[in-house]
Structure 1
Amino acid sequence: MESVRVTVRFEADGVCVVVCSGEFDLDTAAALVDACEKEAGAARLLVVDVAQVAFADSAFLNVLLRLRSTRPMVLAGPLPSQFRRVLEITGALDLFEVQGDSGQDG
């Protein structure tokens, strides 16, 4: 299993970019929750960069849906093909604004 890494950086105007990499499942999705609650709590806009996510299951999607309900949020891509498939199968893709994604599997 590829280890999980979540890094946070602040940009201008209250934008917080959270970069996720690795494999996110029930055991590891809490790393994203922790980073967003502890480091990105005051963000006006949360940008979650998922381009380096090697695997993501419904636990990761659940975290993203909960984050989306607390503040404006954008996913930065390109979306990994496996995660795109999770979003498509669940009908959640249309719930997110995705930047940097051509809509193709990648």
Structure 2
Amino acid sequence: MKAPQVTVRAEADGVRVVVCSGEFDLDTTGLLIEACDVRPVPAGLLVVDVRQMEFGDSSFLNALIRLRNTRSMALQGPLPSQLRRMLEMTGALDLFEIRESPGYAG
């Protein structure tokens, strides 16, 4: 298993980018939650960059859905094939704005 890593950076216009790489499961999805858990919830957009992910299980999907339900959020793609399949199989793909272009703003 490739160790998960999460990095956070603030972009212009209040955009917060959280970059996920490696493999995420029940034991490691908390890294994503901690990186996104900012109080109070910022008004700007949260972008979760999943381009470097190798695996995410249902707990990762659950975390994404919870985040999406609490703030303005987008996924930075292209989505890894495993994550795309999971989103399609669960019917969750349509819940997310997916940004395929390299820029975060806009």
The question of a shared fold, defined as TM-score above 0.5 by the shorter chain, is answered with yes
2:75 equivalent in structure 1: 75
1:27 equivalent in structure 2: 27
Shift of 1:4: 0.6
**Does the CA contact (< 8 Å) of 1:18 and 1:48 recur in 2?**
yes
Q: Aligned partners of 2:9 and 2:40: how far apart in 1?
A: 9
Unaligned runs of 5+ in 2: 102-106
- Count of equivalent residues: 101
Two-structure CA RMSD over aligned residues (Å) = 1.7
Unaligned runs of 5+ in 1: 102-106
Shift of 1:41: 4.2
Corresponding residue SS for 2:71 = coil
TM-score of the aligned structures, taking structure 2 as reference length = 0.90
Corresponding residue SS for 1:3 = coil
After superposition, the Cα gap between the structure-2 partners of 1:40 and 1:77, relative to the gap in structure 1 and judged at 3 Å, is farther
**Does the CA contact (< 8 Å) of 2:41 and 2:71 recur in 1?**
no
1:37 equivalent in structure 2: 37
After superposition, the Cα gap between the structure-2 partners of 1:3 and 1:35, relative to the gap in structure 1 and judged at 3 Å, is same
Shift of 1:44: 1.1
**Does the CA contact (< 8 Å) of 1:8 and 1:40 recur in 2?**
no
Identity %: 64
Q: Does 1:8 align with 2:8?
A: yes
After superposition, the Cα gap between the structure-2 partners of 1:38 and 1:72, relative to the gap in structure 1 and judged at 3 Å, is closer
**Does the CA contact (< 8 Å) of 2:53 and 2:80 recur in 1?**
yes
**Does the CA contact (< 8 Å) of 1:46 and 1:73 recur in 2?**
yes
Q: Aligned partners of 1:16 and 1:43: how far apart in 2?
A: 10
The letter for the 2-side match of 1:33 is: I
Shift of 1:42: 2.5
Shift of 1:28: 0.6
